[in-house]
Structure 1
């Protein structure tokens, strides 16, 4: 039976354009998928977008569009970029897909039925950036990082997952199956979170629903609640799994979301797969371990200097800037320079130095010289070596060992180490050429056998390089493959069939240039132009107005009867049982009034407090939903009737006349 390999990336939150962090993770997923296809495995590669949550709802409201319109606009940025980079995901999941929604609701109902989910009220500190409640310890960590402004105190009714009940099984998972989180030092971080200092009993039950937002998957049978974003998002790996491929072989994640994937995610699955009679205080059943992801592989951050890249700091590297140098070059750098689990500083200087050294001066130059010598000295025919000296034997032994070493490191998901070992060998070959001086050997027929050995060794090394690097640099590997006289697609080769000493199948062809040396000064000028173009605001399209027709004309005296005043909203709260109304206390300077406004679909009460508005102050009071409203707020709207509050300048004081 063909071995199955299921690799996932995180699903990316659609509140911004893709950056180098998204790109690195997805390229790593693609390299793993391609590598395991060349191992002959049945591969399923999943990526996608996370499209629910408070930040999406707020961003859409600010732009005056629906959350669905927002995510439909942004999700293709990721899909199109992955196509442009030649990535090969088998499926792109979106959490707004009907299949995903159905899976989340089905599993929520299941765990509600088993008692693993229950309803209660919760009050605590809430991290806006993580969209999660935080413990006192986590709050202190955020404060130490200068992120206290992202914490707010919330109290709301919520559904909870009994996370604490699974602490014993989680600790056993980490202790008995250390491959579950890799690299090892990241596993130690997870252990410390679940059981600090070895002390148990620290896990708290997890809030997994919200009533303060509406953009999410409704809780079945209780639709004032929407499913909390992490219970929703993590289940994408299950909802979009290809039949027969469960569980994931590798869940790729960045270190910042490791806790969610290494603590919450396995606990959710344990609850879904446990059976009656399983003892949560006893041994973790082996059958449950077999249904959990094999490995959660956590990588570090790309830094700009010593600082994490951040949109707010303006130091983000965008994919277009990397792709300026070519897809294969960008892929190579990301795999070559990032050691799994660790952070890595990025500079365009180091990026271009790496490409020049390893690709232009390294592999590109070696391939061009070797293939050209085969054509010049042997008419393209690859000779069979007959004579070996000590240097030849060292090169042959290293070459034979190279493939096994490379594949062993790749099997451990260490492409940084695998590529480093390969390039050590390629650099040795450069020294081998310098010592052998084949251009001198070619002048004397007595050196024919030695020249044959040198040329054959170079050919074998390049052929192995084309096969081994095909998952990392598919385009460049194919060019090299064809230059070596090989037919078909190098990506369709199988590592098991890679015999380093196998004879050449055909004469070599003309060498194709693999990579041109970069002029760094010119390249940086081009990169700055790309950055400038990306930062420039898009020219807005002329809107096609969909507005109600003009009403009949009135005279000035009629209009002058309307008394418009600047008001300041002091308090705001939802009106129970009303889908549209918000009750507000408004300061008009000379008095405070209660005013009801049908603006709930566009504004949350918390966002209204402290806002200046224009009030029709001499409108007769009227009762709505049993509450007397004295006044009306001025809003703009189109035919869709979504309200846009008219806002006076900040220095306009309550009570000022609007005319």
Structure 2
């Protein structure tokens, strides 16, 4: 006998395809995707819906201006939206388009049902109309004579229309909100809807239009098209097969667990939509959550203002999971957040490249170096392990509590507290010291096992928010699908110790800020001028004066001056050719305490494959420099040229990060 899974239905708004989507839309969808993935991880039967709202006067006018039919016009934009969700690794269960035939059938059936039972009637509408917002406004609602939503010009319009009797259901909705405190979230949104709209009284709602044709026809009065309030909002049930021929999923998933929306469309989802559902005799969604906006320093971001941030460009620069992590970590879910590319870079470099990336590379490198990739079975636990194991045991429960409340930012913050604790554990246990004494092999194996197990737990914890990174960690740690389940991390010690571990490459390359790039460019320009001046001076030296086979000794320096140069032993864990320069190689060097990227001009002397695993001496305290688009954070040491080229290496293998004195 099988136990039936508990269902979970989550939706994003369906997006209006008047132009490409921006980072604000991406935030909504990434948040919903993360919640959906987390629920699947916990074993729920999940339905995750997103899509596009494709009808309306604005689309019709844009299509005419472009010389296209409306459907042809939206098809191209919808294609770009689908591509964006592929780039952002959005794993939706259904993508609905309001032009889909099954949706059209649902809407016509819903409209007829509401009309036949007396909730809809025909009359005339007159008022100030905003075409971009497709909304009528009264004199008192206008803001300095303009649309209160977008600030554009409005014009007086009158047309025949069908109206929905909102007031018939207003008190019932008020009672429902009071009886279900979490129905509208956050609390501030609930208070706004009650005090500003419901309690003052509702006017009847216009639900059809005759001034444009691009919409779903009212099948019993075809000069009318169904307006957005019935058309777009009903996607949440038409996608489940309500009054159409699609697979019937209403019994399985309705009512929705949460409609995840931006706070700018709260009124439509928390007042219009519940009242339509009441009229249809359907249950209301369990929760409608209005998240905040991603703002710019100058205010709100919007397509109409032309100040949007393109997520595709950010992914090309920083990667999908870096962007996912940034928007989820930086934005408090119920409030607004301010977008800053410098903050994005800081999150990438500090949280991802340094804290998580270095933790993985350090651990896998030590397992490979000290035990050839296989941990021995002997174990010796110490009291210092207790705190780490206790936190590892607690962290899944804390994260789950945050995620069930949709506090994704807090969940990620708590995961990174654990990441920091694991890094601290390395400093506390000093595995490189343990490795020097053969009598400490069991203890060293225990420390490394605890690190591997902690990394496994972290991989599972971040898998909903950062699925690509979790998959890379799964591969590096050689984990089975069973070892990546939620149930497996509820008890510490499930890491399969027989796994063969290989050194891991960089999870996240370090990125330079614009300020750093400008500073380096300025310094390089200064160095260039200095070199040009030196060249002019050298050209004046007579040929017969240059007789020494080697360069002359440099100016004498003090021991204090030499001590400023920080040289360390580094283990090369990855080497590859520079994508934009034939003579350059890009190395990832493990320094024990961190990992650095080195761009070096040795491609004509060395094959990348022969460098991996090699220990070399590098200078680590040079200012970062950029070579053909790639940042170099350290410099190798070497002698000779062409046939005599040789890298400076330690006489015997030492701990990565050891200082050269």
TM-score category, normalised to shorter length: 0.7 to 0.9
Using the alignment, how far apart are the partners of 1:150 and 1:124 within structure 2?
Answer: 13
Q: Which residue of 1 aligns with 2:429?
A: 436
Displacement of 1:152 in angstroms is 2.8
Cα deviation per residue 1:290-326 (whole Å; 9 max; x = unaligned)? Answer: x211111211111111411133443211122221111
1:500 CA drift (Å)? 3.8
Could you tell me how far apart the structure 2 residues matched to 1:319 and 1:215 are?
Answer: 30
Of 511, 514, 519, which aligns to 2:507? 514
Match among 272, 292, 310 for residue 264 of structure 1: 272
- In the alignment, the residues of structure 2 paired with residue 146 and residue 74 of structure 1 have an alpha-carbon distance, to the nearest angstrom, of 24
Query: Which of 380, 397, 409 is equivalent to 1:386?
Result: 380
Q: Which residue of 2 aligns with 1:156?
A: 159
Call closer, same or farther: CA 1:175–1:380 in 2, change over 3 Å: same
* d(CA) in 1 for partners of 2:46, 2:409: 22
From 257, 260, 266, the equivalent of 1:252 is: 260
| Alignment size in residue pairs | 502
Instruction: Using structure 1 for the length normalisation, give the TM-score.
Output: 0.72
Displacement after TM superposition at 1:232 (Å)? 0.5
| 2:32 maps to 1:29 | yes
Work out which of the residue numbers 181, 184, 188 in structure 2 matches 1:181.
184
Residues 301 and 344 in structure 1, CA contact (< 8 A), matched pair in contact too: yes
Deviations 1:382-426 (A, max 9, x none): 46753322x422222111111111111111111111110010121
**Are the aligned partners of 1:479 and 1:512 in contact in 2 as well (CA < 8 Å)?**
no
Pairs within 5 Å for 1:113-512? 113-134=116-137, 138-140=141-143, 147-195=150-198, 200-241=199-240, 243=249, 244-273=252-281, 291-324=283-316, 325-382=318-375, 385-389=379-383, 391-488=384-481, 493-505=484-496, 506-510=498-502, 511-512=504-505
Q: Report the CA distance between 1:135 and its aligned residue.
A: 5.1
Deviations 1:599-638 (A, max 9, x none): xxxxxxxxxxxxxxxxxxxxxxxxxxxxxxxxxxxxxxxx
Aligned partners of 1:374 and 1:508 also within 8 Å: no
Q: Distance in 2 between matches of 1:7 and 1:502?
A: 34
**Aligned-residue CA RMSD (Å):** 2.3
Q: Which runs of 5+ in 2 are unaligned?
A: 241-247, 519-661
Q: 1:447 to 1:497 in 2, by over 3 A?
A: closer
Indicate if the aligned counterparts of 2:133 and 2:149 stay in contact, CA closer than 8 A: no
Contact 1:210–1:225 at 8 Å: present in 2 too?
yes
What secondary structure sits across from 1:8 in the alignment?
strand
Q: Can you give the 5+ residue segments of structure 1 that lack an aligned partner in the other structure?
A: 274-287, 526-659
Distance 1:405 1:449, change over 3 A: same
CA distance in 2: counterparts of 1:79 and 1:172, whole angstroms: 39
Distance in 2 separating the partners of 1:130 and 1:496: 47
Task: Name the residue aligned to 1:14.
Answer: 17
Moved more, 452-461 or 95-104: 452-461
SS at match of 2:169: helix
Deviations 1:86-124 (A, max 9, x none): 221121111111111110010000010111111112222
Offset of 1:380 from its aligned partner? Answer: 2.9
Q: Is 2:295–2:336's contact at 8 Å kept on the other side of the alignment?
A: yes
Matched ranges for 1:42-81 at <5 A: 42-81=45-84
Would you say the 8 A contact 2:11–2:258 is kept in 1? yes
Question: CA 1:353–1:208 in structure 2 vs 1: closer, same or farther (change >3 Å)?
Answer: same
SS in 1 for 2:170: helix
Q: Which moved more, 1:6-15 or 1:391-400?
A: 391-400
Q: 1:147 to 1:10 in 2, by over 3 A?
A: closer
SS at match of 1:247: coil
- Does structure 1 residue 103 correspond to structure 2 residue 96? no
Distance 1:314 1:52 in 2: 22
| Equivalent-residue separation in structure 2 for 1:384 and 1:340 (angstroms) | 46
